[in-house]
Every structure is written in structure tokens, then in C-alpha cells.
Amino acid sequence: MQGDFEQYAGEIENGLKLSSLFRTLDTYEAQEAEWLVPGLIPKGQITTLASDGGLGKTSAWVALAAAISAGKRCFLDPEDATRKPGRVLFLSSEDSVKVVLKKRLAAAGADESRVITPDFTNDSSGFLRKVKFGTQELESVVSEIAPDLCIFDPIQGFVPQGCVMGDRAAMRDCMAPLVALGEKYGTTFLIICHTNKRAKAYGRDRIADSSDLWDISRSVLMMGWTAEEGVRYLSHEKSNYGPLQETILFKIDNAGLIHSEGKTWKRDRDFQSEEGKTMPKREDAKGWIISTLENRGGKMPVKDLYSLAESIGFTEKTLERAKADLAKAGSIRTFGKGYGVDKTYYIELCYFP
């Protein structure tokens, strides 16, 4: 019993006895794992969703958030899945809530009264900028809102200042408190991160910047392109509480909505090792264009897009072909503003009014 520890325990701080922090195993109640998404996302734990840029990570978490808030199934769920409506907290350091995310969540069928996000316009004290992994500010937010699902997009926006993501000990120290928060408040945490570009890497080796994120996550989901044009995969790469689930195949339409295309037992390793390494460059460029425009509020100067594309390795020819495909599909349009030397050409997503 707990009292048996008294002979070892001194006071550690504020009168707290060391013995109060330990219990004998017979005082713990055994429990079965609970699931936010059956087999894929364990309730009250940390799940990581990772992919290259432009693959649709935002579309994936938006679909999940909409389903949780509205109490309906999404593309991640088995066909017979049911759920009650829940509260969703999302923290995004990349996309604009008013310009991008509100529209996408509404289009996905979210119950907007159950979806919560920070309002930086009211934060005169700077409190929200202190909401990082491992901080008291984050625990205050989670305890006050008590969300069923809390989304961090991307991880880099919520790592404390001075914490190096490549430092495994530092990352473990700042991420570990999420485990306690999940069990204390029943909140499931979904962490969005980018994958690296290392050739022939798969699974754990594709997690960018911090392999420790793989260790601390109870489930890891990896996204990528299949060899079939326009079809992407979501592979279940790690599961601590049950068997790995089938890989989900899906497409994303011009409005950013996800449509299921079946399942397969192929894994991230299989897709990454296929000849040609998944989608051709043109398809990579198409996804990158859509993602870049979404992050810019749906519109940007054409010359800026080309400059960014060149900096990450896309050729002008590849970008031209990708633009032509997207324009033909009705996903983007280009137009000019101004006259003469002052005229600027813009590229715009058609589903952003």
C-alpha cells in the first residue's frame, strides 16, 4: 500500500511527500484502450500525422475535426463507426483561420459551435504566444476547454523557444507532459509534421527534425502519393495499442474535400520503394501549388510562386505543366491587375472567393 513507502519518503517540495507520487501495482485499475478513431487514433494519447508538403495534411485533419465536432464518420473510420459530437481545439501557426480554415471546416461539415481556436486579436497580454509544449499555459488551455481532440499544425509552431528539435532529450522533456495531459483531461492530441526528403527513407526515418516524436507517439500515420494519378495513401506505421490497420487510399477534390478510394495492405515502405518513387514530378508540383496557395490565403503573384518553386527544385517546365493541369481541372486561374509596367499577374485557387 502507499503507506509502505513512508519509510523511504522525505519532502520534495511544498510539503509534498515522495511516497505520494508512487503506488503499488495492485492499486491500479486495468483498462482497455479507447479509440477516437477505431484502431487508428487512441483516445487520450498522442498521434502523429506526417507527410511531404502538398500531400493534404490539412485536408486530413480538417476532415477528422469536422467529423468529431459533428458526431459523424470520416474517411479514417470503418464503415460501421458511430460517435457522439465532441469538442475540437485546433492551433495552427500556418493557415489563416478567417481566410482558409473556417471555410474548409464548414465545407467538411463541421459543427462550428464545437470547434475552438485562439483569437490573437484579444491577446493583449501575450498569453497565447506562450502556449507551447510542456508549458503551464498549455495545460491551462486544455483544462479550461477540455477538448476531445487537440490539433497542433505544425509541430514547429509549438516547440518552446530554445528547444532544438534534433535534441532528443530536449524534445522528450517538452513533449512528455502531453501524455499526462491526455490521461488527466481525456484529450487526444494530433501532431502534424513534415517528412524529410531523404532518398529511400520510410517510416520512422521519414519523420523530419525529431525522431523522438515517433517514440512518444502512440500511433503514427504517414501520407504519400501512390503510382495512380491523383490517389494518395495514409499508412498506419505505428500502433502501441493494437494491430496496424489497412492503408487508406483517397483523393482530394478541388474544394479540399477527401474521397475514399479503397484500402490496401501496402505500407509507406512499399510505396516509397516503388520504381519512380510514387507520383511523377508534375503531380508533386500540383500538390505543392495547391498547398502554397492555401497558405497564402488562396492567391499570390505568379512570379513569387515561380521563385519559391525554383528554390525547392521544381523546374519551370514542370511548374508550367502542373499549372496547366490544375487550370484544366478548374482548380486555379490566373489573371492580371494594373497596366503597363505596373501590371502584376496573379495565380488564385478557384474555391477561395
User: What is the identity of the amino acid at 184?
Assistant: K
| Residue 340: predicted pLDDT | 80
CATH number of residue 190's parent domain: 3.40.50.300
Whether 133 and 257 share a structural domain:
yes
Q: Give yes or no for residue 1 having a pLDDT over 60.
A: no
Whether 286 and 164 share a structural domain:
no
Confidence of residue 351 (pLDDT cuts 50, 70, 90): low
Mean predicted confidence (pLDDT) in 27-34 = 84
Residue 138, φ and ψ in degrees, nearest 5: -65, -45
Residue 191, φ and ψ in degrees, nearest 5: -110, 125
Whether 248 and 136 share a structural domain:
yes
Whether 41 and 86 share a structural domain:
yes
**Cell, residue 34:** 479507447
Q: Give yes or no for residue 284 having a pLDDT over 80.
A: no
Answer for the pair 64, 80: CB distance below 8 angstroms, yes or no.
no
Q: Is the dihedral of CA 74, 76, 78, 79 positive or negative?
A: positive
- Name the DSSP class of 243: P
Whether 7 and 143 share a structural domain:
no
Task: Work out the mean pLDDT of the chain and round it to a whole number.
Answer: 85
- Where in the sequence is the domain holding 25, given as residue range(s)? 1-30
| Residue 139: predicted pLDDT | 94
Look up cell 479540399; give the residue.
256
Whether 225 and 238 share a structural domain:
yes
Higher pLDDT, 108 or 52: 108
Q: Give yes or no for residue 3 having a pLDDT over 50.
A: no
Mean predicted confidence (pLDDT) in 236-265 = 92
Query: Which helix (H) or strand (E) covers residue 266, if one does?
Result: none
Q: Averaging pLDDT over each range in 127-136, 158-167, 281-290, 335-344, which range is the top one?
A: 127-136
Counting the structural domains of the chain, the total is 3
| DSSP string computed for 20-33 | GG---GGGSPP---
Strand ranges across the sheet with 232-239: 115-116, 88-92, 149-153, 188-194, 46-51, 219-225, 232-239, 247-252, 258-264
70-74, 240-244, 255-259, range with the lowest pLDDT: 255-259
Write out pLDDT tens, residues 185-230: 999 999 998 887 666 677 777 775 566 788 889 999 999 888 887 8
Nearest to 37 by CA among 263, 226, 216, 190: 190
Among the candidates 238, 253, 273, a domain finishes at 273
| Residue 40: predicted pLDDT | 97
Question: Helix or strand or coil: residue 100?
Answer: helix
Among the candidates 224, 255, 273, a domain finishes at 273
Nearest to 88 by CA among 117, 115, 106, 112: 115
Please write down the HEC assignment for all residues of 143-203: HHHCCCEEEEECHHHHCCCCCCCCCHHHHHHHHHHHHHHHHHHCCEEEEEEEECCCCCCCH
Write out pLDDT tens, residues 256-283: 889 999 999 999 999 887 745 444 567 7
Confidence of residue 11 (pLDDT cuts 50, 70, 90): low
| Residue 294: predicted pLDDT | 77
| Residue 117: predicted pLDDT | 92
Among the candidates 273, 290, 321, a domain finishes at 273
Q: Give yes or no for residue 353 having a pLDDT over 50.
A: no
| Residue 298: predicted pLDDT | 80
| Residue 278: predicted pLDDT | 45
Percent of the chain with pLDDT over 70: 88
Whether 49 and 156 share a structural domain:
yes
| Residue 210: predicted pLDDT | 63
Write out pLDDT tens, residues 133-162: 999 999 999 999 999 999 998 888 888 887
Write out pLDDT tens, residues 220-231: 999 988 888 788
Write out pLDDT tens, residues 94-113: 666 766 788 889 999 999 99
| Residue 5: predicted pLDDT | 47
Whether 342 and 267 share a structural domain:
no
Exposed, middle or buried: residue 19 (CB in 10 Å: 0-12, 13-18, 19+)?
Answer: middle
Whether 261 and 201 share a structural domain:
yes
Exposed, middle or buried: residue 258 (CB in 10 Å: 0-12, 13-18, 19+)?
Answer: buried
Whether 60 and 15 share a structural domain:
no
- Other C-beta atoms closer than 10 Å to the C-beta of 335 total 11
Q: Give yes or no for residue 4 having a pLDDT over 60.
A: no
Mean predicted confidence (pLDDT) in 157-178 = 82
User: What is the identity of the amino acid at 321?
Assistant: R
**Cell, residue 62:** 480538417
CATH number of residue 297's parent domain: 1.10.10.10
Confidence of residue 30 (pLDDT cuts 50, 70, 90): confident
Whether 223 and 334 share a structural domain:
no
| Residue 170: predicted pLDDT | 80
Whether 152 and 188 share a structural domain:
yes
